[in-house]
A and B are shown apart, each in its own frame.
Chain A
Amino acid sequence: MNEEIFVLSLRQLLGKRRTFALIALALLPLLVALVVRTSDSSADPVDPLDNAMVNYGLIVTTLLPLVTLVLSTTSLGMEIEDGTIVYLLSKPLSRAHASTAKLAASWLPAGVLVALSASLSGSIALQGSGESTLLLAFVVSSALGALAYSALFLFLSLLTTRALIVGLIYVFIWEGLVTELFAGTRILSIRQYTLGVGDLLTESTKLDAHLDGLAALALMIAVTSAVVALAIRRLNRFESRSLF
């Protein structure tokens, strides 16, 4: 990984207004957990575990893909669009190091944001129940999910200038609809990998995981590695008509 590119890319993301919109979005699950927790429960008691699970589901299905999509496409896509990537690529350094630096720089803020949102909203929901393994499962699975999503969306940014739209279609049509309807397609869904890994780390049966935990972890590793390899290959053959 190239440190200069990593630091530059972090600065690039932190200076953007959209990053602050994402932080606001990450606060939503906390708010939901708090509202559910403090609402009058005498008439309709809410199980803290249910509250936590609903929240985690919200994070994995919405916050996680959105945050990674926006950060990854901003990190690389914008740079391709405005042509500044030429300053990074016209250097005597391996493009694999450039790709991994870009990946790390979009994964770090995305992972931190989602893992924080998951653990904080989880502890608000579970207050008093003391389910620390569950919280750990939330944090680890969402951080790993963020890595897989970031890698996929970085690769998309290299494939198309409409990575944001293609990414949204993947998340909401493929993962949100197709994999719900056809069980066989679930082996190609980062959402299912994330839930599966969460399932692996906890004994709770309330996580809506459809894949076996170990299989989910193996698939996640395989798909992420493959996508990173493809991104490096693509960057090695990077051609542009509009760079100059």
Chain B
Amino acid sequence: MASENTMTLNLKIWRQKNGATEGKLVDYRVDHVSPDMSFLEMIDVLNGQLVKKGEDPIAFDHDCREGICGMCSMMINGKAHGGYKNTTTCQVHMRLYNNGDTIVIEPFRAQAFPIVKDLAVDRSAIDKVMIKGGYITANTGNAQDANAILIPKPIADEAMDAAACIGCGACVASCPNGSGMLFMGAKISQLALLPQGQPEAPKRALNMVHEHDSLGFGNCTNHAECEATCPKGISIEHIARMNREYLKAAFTYYEKTRSEGGA
């Protein structure tokens, strides 16, 4: 797999010391880039050179480097994760680029994702939405036998399609409105499809959507940029299901509070 055809690339990378300071694009050149390198390995090489020169290396988020943890982010040439189908930044390989290319690398930009440093952003708003209902209340204990809950394969498969979300936030970064409806819709849809998710479905839809709106995420206006850049190929059909769940709940759900005391 090793290759002799290495490349020289010109990079324009967003540098910003922290959330309180202004940032700007800085030019770098990297030589001897192998086409078998991953995009992040290419930045590792650049960082190695910066450290040797005593300069501050470029901060970026990354962890598993196999496309599943959702930690890596970056806009590459204006597209979240580079815009390659079903691919996170860590899985973008340099064979997709040509010798002499100029690549612009910026952080995910959205009102709900403030910049931490350089290319790293704060995506804790995603957790905040999940806290409002992205779960099934099933305390640990003697749950019923797993096969007592039958789920038809097509339903299980569709729930899995939605559950594949890695929470990277590319949907938010690529949406002109900075909306988080794809990642939120995926969770609401997954749990609404499954029988276990029914008891809390109305409350879940209402609470998560309200939280989403209050955190500075925008609304969905059907641009479908999110679906195009989602590294897990999650469909906007899940936003549609979320909307139906929300509407249904808005018309029918009313939470009574009763005292739970007893004799």
Chain B binds chain A: no
- A residues with a Cβ closer than 8 A to B are none
Residue numbers of B with Cβ under 8 A of A are none
